[in-house]
Amino acid sequence: MVKTLLKNYKQLKIDMADEKIIISASPHVHSDRTSKRIMYDVLIALTPAFLVSLYLFGISALIMTSVAVISCIVFEYLIQKYVLKTTITVSDGSALLTGILLAFNLPSTLPLWMVIIGSLVAIGIAKMSFGGLGFNIFNPALVGRVFLLISFPVQMTSWPLPVVNNTSLVDAVSGETTLGIIKEGLMYGETMSTLADKIPTIMELFLGVTSGSAGEMSGLALIIGGIYLLIRKVITYHIPVTILATMAVMTGIFWFVDPQHYANPLIHLLSGGAILGAFYMATDLVTSPMTKKGMVIFSIGIAVITVVIRLFGAYPEGISFAIIIMNAFVPMIDTYFKPKRFGSKIKAKFV
Amino acid sequence: MLKTFPKGGIHPAENKITSSKAIQRMPVPKVVYVPIAQHIGIPSEIIVDRKDKVEMGQVIAKSGGFVSSNIHTPVAGTVTKLDMIVDSSGYKKQCIVIRTDQKNESNFEVKEYPLLQEITMSSEGILKRVLDHGIVGLGGATFPSHVKLNVKESQHIDCLIINGVECEPYLTADHRLMLEKADEIIVGVQILLKALHIDKAVIGIENNKKDAIKVLKQACLHDPRIKVAALKVKYPQGSEKQLIKSILNREVPKGGLPLDVGVIVHNVGTIFAIYQAIQYDIPLMERVVTITGKKLDHPANFWVKIGTPIKDLVEEVGGIPEGTRKIVNGGPMMGKAIKNTDVPVTKGTSGILIISESEASRQESKNCIRCSNCVFVCPMGLEPHLLMNLSEKGFYERAESEDIMTCIECGSCSFVCPSHRPLLDYIRFGKDIVKKLQTAKN
């Protein structure tokens, strides 16, 4: 019975569309928000960070980003056209965004064929195999990045030095990331005070004059973009604020107890992609929870896992792993953390 | 800080084009089509026959039960047919067709009703009059008013809320009524306070009607029992539950009624109808209707007799403009699209909205990108995206346990969805089936 009703209902809608006077159910107006606009708002928000990466790493960052973007779009098109044989939706801007975010998470010196493999994994495995936009469980760009990090650890951790190479096409002099220096130094028995000369100052970290992935450099540029996203209501403050605050508190406790063997919270917040992760990767609409309560739980999870990996794990960074791990919990979080229903406080008295 | 409800809500473009247009009187229509199901509940029973002569204000259909209402003829004339007519719901409903007697003077004289402040009627008399005079909620839900006023001994009521919110975009019928009949409305409130034996009433008005707030505040200065509350502009504040939360911060329990939190809510239009019924013995025969649209020549507010075909109204404002794709009975958020203009004005018609090509068609629905906007705007704390999926895929029991039945169908979710998903369509569909399953179970 129900099936025929549903069929009739769908048929009814199609019939009515042909008539001159449209009959449709309310509401009869719509806000001017569209998925496309959300995607382009995120692109606008990423522009300052992109400009910083162009300044720091020059042509190679531009080439790497273009390759990532183009290969993401091409892979999505090819998969939709020849493998899934469905409607082509590359124009919605989501593949473009995945490409940029993937590039932001890679060192600009990475060989381009690796970038293309990363795009294939991001689009083909993390996104399209789950059913395309809206159905993926894991953040596609991060899946691409983590795949590359595990497969090509040497190339993925060779960082170009900032600024000095921004006009040359040749391979850059390798530097090291702040958290990498700290991790290695502490392992060989150095203390934070002896390491202080080797790592950039807080100000340098904030402005982004250091080594790292193409887009994670400048805290300032990323925060400007993040504020734009908040103003445009693409994201809410819950995820970024909770992640950064939890990370600060956790690393702060360790630093307070033993400042010689643990870096101070500001270093943790301003390096290793924490801000990029908190504002752009964890807030990915598709792979984050849908209620505010859920978002807070999700973010605390990310922050805790990140700090544990950073302080006790093998990798100096770790926010990508943390986000992917918490992505897997999103369906469960959505099931258990519901919005508060109106009128649920009191039991109903029927008249 | 202005008061408002805390959870959800949206702010669509207000487009109150007609807010400065005084209410005009519609010319008397030649023929009226009076449906017998104009209210929620049991349809009325027809008590006239073909060729019967009827006098203005005579009962032509009697209340068919407790939750039902009398229907009066808005004109003097002859019953020509008892017919079936498509009303705004899209279904054919029984209606009484009356041809106006052009020679009968009572049809055309415009009487003046000076303000009558003294309330002489007893509270029992008031309740009976409200029942007899066919008064129903004029905000749009058309719930028979006497049922709301019929408070049992065991129920404790302490506050009457008057709904002057008019949160729907475009509509200005209540706004104009409050401006032009402020004193009468205050007397109407006093009548209800007397009938209910309580001494607290709050008139809730959204802050985009500052003039109405001012006028009503002025009008109720002499009566300390009545207060005017200015509310922040937010849709769907006109919904009973949200309005009570805004004004008194009381939450009507799930599946409950305002009575459960000691409140009764009436629309300003209803209050004015009650005033007329009690003080001048006039049954509910006409109401204020806004006829509006961006492309209309002369959008306006009218006093319209119940049963007037909408085409008469449209002609009055200059005809249907070129490129019209949608005619809506009600506001753009909750109104019903109608097929043609033969549909008559009923007790629940607060406005007619003419929508042109560019705004009328829906965009193609795309994948849900889980942006959470629908969850954030839902005033009932539901998860529209989930409810849509559940009804689409046929998990009706799960939908029921996710509180699909508490949806008030305000349309905020469909309004904000960036993927243009028909959330409310599927939720309505799911509600319908859940209701059928519930009835089958009992």
Determine how many CB atoms are found less than 10 A away from the CB of residue B4. Answer: 18
Q: Which of A251, A177, A252 is nearest to A213 (CA)?
A: A177
Q: Please check whether residue A3 lies inside any domain of the structure.
A: no
How many angstroms separate the CA of residue B182 from the nearest CA in chain A? 31
Cα dihedral value A147, A150, A153, A159, nearest 10: 50
Range of the domain at B143: 123-280
User: Any bridge partners for residue B46, and if so which?
Assistant: B61
Q: Please check whether residue A101 lies inside any domain of the structure.
A: yes
Same-domain check for residues B289 and B428: no
Same-domain check for residues B313 and B395: no
Q: Please check whether residue A226 lies inside any domain of the structure.
A: yes
Interface of A with B in 207-236 (CB under 8 A): 236
Same-domain check for residues B212 and B63: no
Q: Please check whether residue A9 lies inside any domain of the structure.
A: no
Determine how many CB atoms are found less than 10 A away from the CB of residue A155. Answer: 15
Q: Which of B263, B280, B297 is the last residue of a domain?
A: B280
CB B174 within 8 A of CB B289: no
Answer yes or no: do A34 and B406 touch at CB < 8 A: no
Tokens read off for B4: 């408002």
Same-domain check for residues A193 and A330: yes
Q: Please check whether residue B209 lies inside any domain of the structure.
A: yes
Asked if A14 has any chain B CB less than 8 Å from its own CB, the reply is no
Same-domain check for residues B179 and B249: yes
Asked if A349 has any chain B CB less than 8 Å from its own CB, the reply is yes
Q: Please check whether residue A326 lies inside any domain of the structure.
A: yes
DSSP B372-387: -HHHHH-TT---HHHH
Q: What is the pLDDT tens value at each position of chain A, 351 positions in all?
A: 556 656 655 555 544 444 578 888 889 988 888 888 898 899 999 999 999 888 888 888 899 999 999 999 999 999 999 998 888 888 888 999 999 999 999 988 889 999 999 999 999 999 999 988 889 999 999 999 999 999 998 888 877 777 655 555 555 556 678 888 888 888 887 887 877 777 778 777 787 777 777 777 788 899 999 999 999 989 999 999 999 999 999 999 999 998 888 888 988 898 888 999 999 999 999 999 999 999 999 999 999 999 999 998 888 888 999 999 999 999 999 999 999 999 886 554 443
Tokens 């209803």 -> residue: B270
Determine how many CB atoms are found less than 10 A away from the CB of residue B253. Answer: 19
Q: Please check whether residue B407 lies inside any domain of the structure.
A: yes
Q: Which of B27, B78, B68 is nearest to B347 (CA)?
A: B68
Same-domain check for residues A150 and A46: yes
Q: Please check whether residue A99 lies inside any domain of the structure.
A: yes
Q: Please check whether residue B241 lies inside any domain of the structure.
A: yes
Q: Please check whether residue B14 lies inside any domain of the structure.
A: no
Q: Please check whether residue B107 lies inside any domain of the structure.
A: no
Q: Please check whether residue B172 lies inside any domain of the structure.
A: yes
Same-domain check for residues A181 and A330: yes
Same-domain check for residues B62 and B188: no
Nearest residue, CB atoms, A29 vs list B169, B363, B419: B169
Q: Which of B280, B303, B332 is the last residue of a domain?
A: B280
Rounded CA separation B413/B82 (Å): 41
Asked if B395 has any chain A CB less than 8 Å from its own CB, the reply is no
Contacts (Cβ under 8 Å, ≥6 apart) of B148: B137, B264, B265, B266
Same-domain check for residues A135 and A198: no
Q: Is B98 helix (H, G, I), strand (E, B) or coil?
A: strand
ipTM for the predicted complex comes to: 0.85
Contacts (Cβ under 8 Å, ≥6 apart) of B434: B396, B399, B400, B404, B405
Same-domain check for residues A196 and A145: no
CB B243 within 8 A of CB B159: no
CA distances from B32 to A160, B56, B286, B310 (A): 83, 12, 12, 11
Q: Please check whether residue B309 lies inside any domain of the structure.
A: yes
Same-domain check for residues A190 and A302: yes
How many angstroms separate the CA of residue A22 from the nearest CA in chain B? 5
Strand order of the β-sheet with B92-100 is: B31-35, B92-100, B77-86, B53-54
Same-domain check for residues A195 and A294: yes
Same-domain check for residues B267 and B137: yes
Same-domain check for residues B239 and B151: yes
pLDDT score of B368: 92
Determine how many CB atoms are found less than 10 A away from the CB of residue B64. Answer: 17
Q: Please check whether residue B377 lies inside any domain of the structure.
A: yes
Tokens 């042909």 -> residue: A18
Exposure string for B131-168, b = 16+ CB within 10 A, e = fewer? bbbbbbbbbbebbbbbbbbebeeeeebebbbbbbbbbb
Q: Indicate which CATH number applies to the domain containing B34.
A: 3.10.20.600
How many domains in chain B?
3
Same-domain check for residues A201 and A315: yes
Q: Please check whether residue A22 lies inside any domain of the structure.
A: no
Same-domain check for residues B239 and B177: yes
Same-domain check for residues B155 and B256: yes
Rounded CA separation A162/A109 (Å): 11
| Distance linking the first and last C-alpha atoms of chain A | 33
Q: What is the pTM of this model?
A: 0.88
Same-domain check for residues B210 and B259: yes
How many angstroms separate the CA of residue A120 from the nearest CA in chain B? 21
Q: Please check whether residue A10 lies inside any domain of the structure.
A: no
Tokens read off for B149: 């006023």
Q: Which of B258, B254, B253, B256 is nearest to B243 (CA)?
A: B258
Helix (H) or strand (E) holding A54: helix A35-57
Count of H-run helices and E-run strands, chain A: 16, 2
pLDDT score of B344: 93
Cα dihedral value A219, A221, A226, A227, nearest 10: 110
Answer yes or no: do A33 and B326 touch at CB < 8 A: no
Rounded CA separation B42/B45 (Å): 9
Rounded CA separation A231/A259 (Å): 37
CA distances from A285 to A146, A147, A230, B9 (A): 20, 22, 13, 21
pLDDT score of A12: 53
Asked if A85 has any chain B CB less than 8 Å from its own CB, the reply is no
Same-domain check for residues A126 and A246: no
How many domains in chain A?
2
Rounded CA separation B229/B212 (Å): 11
Range of the domain at A144: 35-155
Same-domain check for residues B62 and B155: no
Rounded CA separation A265/A303 (Å): 12
Contacts (Cβ under 8 Å, ≥6 apart) of A245: A303
Same-domain check for residues A123 and A225: no
CB B351 within 8 A of CB B331: yes
Same-domain check for residues A237 and A144: no
Residue in chain A lying closest to B152 (CA):
A351
DSSP B388-411: HHHHHHT-HHHHHHTTGGG-----
Q: Which of B239, B258, B280 is the last residue of a domain?
A: B280
Q: Is B205 helix (H, G, I), strand (E, B) or coil?
A: strand
At B355, give phi and psi (nearest 5°): -115, 135
Same-domain check for residues A299 and A221: yes
How many angstroms separate the CA of residue B376 from the nearest CA in chain A? 8
Instruction: Sort strands B53-54 and B77-86 into parallel, antiparallel or unpaired.
Output: antiparallel
Same-domain check for residues B274 and B315: no
Q: What is the pLDDT tens value at each position of chain B, 442 positions in all?
A: 789 998 899 999 999 999 999 999 989 999 999 999 888 888 899 999 888 899 988 999 998 888 999 999 999 999 998 989 888 888 888 999 999 998 888 888 888 888 888 888 888 899 999 999 999 999 878 899 999 888 887 888 999 999 999 999 999 999 999 999 999 999 999 999 999 999 999 999 999 999 999 999 999 999 999 999 999 999 999 999 999 999 999 999 988 889 989 999 999 999 999 999 999 999 999 999 999 998 888 899 999 999 999 989 988 888 888 888 889 999 999 999 998 888 999 999 999 999 887 777 788 888 899 999 999 999 999 999 999 999 999 999 999 999 999 999 999 999 999 999 999 999 999 999 999 999 998 8
